[in-house]
């Protein structure tokens, strides 16, 4: 009997979601995209057996050609009507007998070269235009914030209509009386009007699927793998969310939580949250992901891990640039983590982060690092940081210990935000671009002054730096702020400054300062 392996991939998802700078529209776009491959496809699939329905991808097996042809006609039309601005690529491969990996590889190759469906033009040249998108306006929307009204295009109207607070609260285990997810970016930003945009992605999935292809009942194994991976990602996100938002004492009396999931499915996670929670949430998500995958190891074939990137950006920064930066940081973390492997061990769970100060993002994080984080051969792109026991990457725990030491430093102006250790390290980083000798002099002076004013904080900072760079903690501070790897010099100073700006240890600030002079 001839069967048909059908594949569809929704393209332009990120552009569709993040073309707006308004969180409510981003949230609605996210809901629409998730529905395309789930409820929308379920409405038309007939008796097809679905293998994957997540992250903009559908893979299904059809046994009747006419059913396949019907779905292939309808799905692009439905997708482009419900989410105007996306496109769909489709491919089909016929096979007999059991599904084999070679058939799947052919389908994936065909999808990469297939032409996307194209939506017809949305207006005549005489149509009024929505000013924020330039597309045909379909309504004049008025509200309390804008009583004069705003022309909106069909995509904006669809996004706003798709927002569902109840559905998202149910997904993350929130009761109706619990705080809501925010609809305004102002309800997320903190730490000087910053937000954290986090993107995480699973490691070595292609290799794992390749091993499954050698087993019998490949289609069933593939389906179970996809379901289990999706479950692990969502369970990990819910666990990290519960710890740092749902059950956190800071938010029990708030109307909304400073957290908004945007993409959650398959092995992909993209969220926007308060900058002060970005590092903790990412660490706990990666840890929970590894644990949840371990619980599902029979279906997944092996213990899986993930890497992530965090972009700390101002709340007014274009979201699509922030997401692109987070993805680049995730890709760089994967690249470095994989290069650190010496055998068959799993890729270390790790992540990188960056605080964006410019107005645009270049093609890759490597180009950003070359432009912003390179001082005469000294690179401040020190990460990624591991959260597990892998010895090949610097530990996140040491970075956070160093940040805690910086935050514990006391000074006459500490209440005004003038932290002596942080200011001294910032002066060093600024000066090293101009004159290395002067920069080292500044570090020597910082070390001398801190031995008198903040001996305990200095000692803990030196211990943390020693762990990060692989040196003895009694070395001079100028030696502890850098190390050599692969013939290049690296420094964790920039990451320490970023972490001490956004991350906060569990202890109260008053207790931190009491310990600063110990």
More confident residue, 428 or 166: 428
At residue 59, the 3 state secondary structure works out as strand
Distance between CA atoms of 337 and 356, rounded to whole angstroms? 23
HSE, side-chain direction, 13 A CA sphere, residue 216: 0
Enumerate the β-bridge partners of residue 273.
Answer: 196, 259
Can 2-113 and 184-374 be said to share one CATH topology? Answer: yes
Distance between CA atoms of 21 and 320, rounded to whole angstroms? 9
Say if residue 259's pLDDT is above 60: yes
Say if residue 249's pLDDT is above 90: no
Distance between CA atoms of 166 and 365, rounded to whole angstroms? 37
- Which tokens hold the place of 492? 């964790």
Quickly list DSSP for 128-139: -B-TTT-SBEEE
Please say whether the beta carbons of 269 and 240 come within 8 A: no
Cβ neighbourhood burial of 102 (10 Å; 0-12, 13-18, 19+) = exposed
pLDDT at 474: 93
Quickly list DSSP for 72-139: HHHHHHHHHHHSBTBEEEEEEEEEESS--HHHHHHHHHHHHHSPPP-PPP---TTS-B-TTT-SBEEE
Closest to 405 measured CA to CA, from 473, 345, 482, 491: 473
How large is the average pLDDT for residues 4-31? 92
How large is the average pLDDT for residues 76-105? 92
Fold held by 2-113: Alpha-Beta Plaits (3.30.70)
Band of residue 514 on the pLDDT scale cut at 50, 70, 90: very low
pLDDT digits (tens, 9 = 90+) for 349-391: 999 999 987 655 555 777 888 888 998 889 999 999 999 888 8
How large is the average pLDDT for residues 93-114? 92
Band of residue 124 on the pLDDT scale cut at 50, 70, 90: low
Band of residue 509 on the pLDDT scale cut at 50, 70, 90: very low
Band of residue 253 on the pLDDT scale cut at 50, 70, 90: confident
Band of residue 282 on the pLDDT scale cut at 50, 70, 90: very high
**E-only strand ranges, 174-277:** 194-202, 259-265, 268-274
Nearest 5°: the CA angle 480, 483, 489 is 130
pLDDT at 436: 93
Alpha helices in 213-318 (DSSP H): 218-241, 278-295, 297-300
At residue 312, the 3 state secondary structure works out as strand
Domain ranges in the chain are: 2-113, 184-374, 397-515
pLDDT digits (tens, 9 = 90+) for 445-473: 999 999 999 999 999 999 999 999 999 99
At residue 52, the 3 state secondary structure works out as strand
pLDDT digits (tens, 9 = 90+) for 214-246: 667 788 888 899 999 999 999 999 999 999 998
Mean pLDDT (the chain, rounded): 89
Band of residue 516 on the pLDDT scale cut at 50, 70, 90: very low
Distance between CA atoms of 255 and 59, rounded to whole angstroms? 40
Closest to 493 measured CA to CA, from 459, 443, 438: 443
- Which tokens hold the place of 207? 């290799």
- Which tokens hold the place of 441? 């002099």
Distance between CA atoms of 272 and 259, rounded to whole angstroms? 6
Give CATH for domain 184-374. 3.30.70.270
């Amino acid at each position: 009997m001839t069967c048909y392996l059908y594949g569809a991939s929704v393209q332009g998802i990120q552009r569709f979601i993040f073309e707006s700078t308004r969180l409510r529209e981003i949230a609605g776009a996210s809901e629409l995209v998730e529905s395309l491959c789930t409820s929308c496809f379920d409405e038309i699939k007939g008796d097809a057996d679905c293998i994957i329905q997540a992250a903009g991808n559908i893979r299904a097996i059809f046994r009747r050609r006419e059913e396949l042809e019907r779905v292939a006609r309808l799905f692009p039309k439905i997708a482009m009507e419900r989410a105007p601005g996306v496109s769909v690529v489709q491919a089909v491969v016929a096979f007999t007998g059991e599904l084999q990996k070679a058939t799947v590889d052919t389908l994936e190759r065909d999808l990469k070269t297939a032409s996307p469906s194209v939506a017809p033009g949305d207006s005549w040249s005489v149509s009024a235009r929505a000013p924020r998108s330039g597309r045909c306006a379909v309504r004049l929307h008025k509200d309390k914030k804008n009583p004069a009204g705003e022309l909106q295009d069909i995509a904006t109207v669809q996004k706003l209509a798709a927002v569902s607070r109840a559905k998202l609260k149910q997904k993350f285990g929130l009761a109706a009386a619990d705080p809501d997810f925010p609809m305004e970016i102002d309800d997320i930003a903190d730490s000087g009007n910053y937000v954290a945009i986090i993107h995480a992605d699973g490691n070595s999935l292609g290799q794992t699927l390749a091993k499954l292809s050698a087993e019998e009942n490949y289609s069933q194994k593939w389906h179970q793998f996809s379901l289990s991976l999706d479950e692990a990602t969502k369970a990990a996100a819910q666990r990290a969310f519960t710890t740092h938002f749902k059950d956190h004492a800071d938010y029990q009396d708030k109307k909304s939580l400073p957290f908004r999931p945007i993409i959650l499915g398959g092995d992909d996670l993209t969220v926007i949250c308060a900058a002060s929670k970005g590092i903790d949430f990412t660490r706990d998500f990666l840890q929970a992901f590894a644990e949840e995958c371990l619980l599902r190891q029979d279906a997944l074939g092996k213990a899986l891990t993930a890497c992530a990137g965090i972009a700390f950006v101002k709340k007014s920064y274009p979201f699509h640039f922030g997401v692109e930066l987070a993805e680049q940081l995730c890709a760089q973390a994967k690249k470095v983590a994989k290069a650190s492997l010496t055998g068959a061990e799993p890729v270390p769970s790790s992540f990188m982060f960056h605080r964006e100060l410019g107005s645009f993002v270049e093609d890759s994080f490597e180009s950003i690092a070359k432009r912003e984080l390179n001082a005469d051969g000294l690179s401040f792109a020190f990460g990624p940081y591991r959260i597990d026991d892998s010895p090949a990457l610097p530990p996140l725990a040491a970075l956070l210990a160093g940040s805690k030491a910086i935050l514990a430093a006391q000074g006459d102006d500490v209440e005004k935000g003038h932290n002596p250790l942080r200011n001294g390290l910032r002066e060093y980083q600024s000066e090293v671009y101009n004159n290395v000798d002067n920069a080292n002099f500044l570090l020597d002076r910082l070390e001398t002054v801190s031995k008198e004013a903040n001996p305990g904080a200095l000692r803990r900072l030196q211990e943390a730096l020693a762990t990060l760079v692989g040196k003895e903690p009694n070395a001079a501070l100028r030696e502890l702020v850098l190390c050599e790897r692969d013939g290049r010099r690296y420094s964790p100073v920039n990451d320490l400054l970023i972490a001490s700006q956004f991350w906060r240890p569990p202890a109260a600030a008053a207790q931190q300062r009491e310990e600063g002079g110990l």
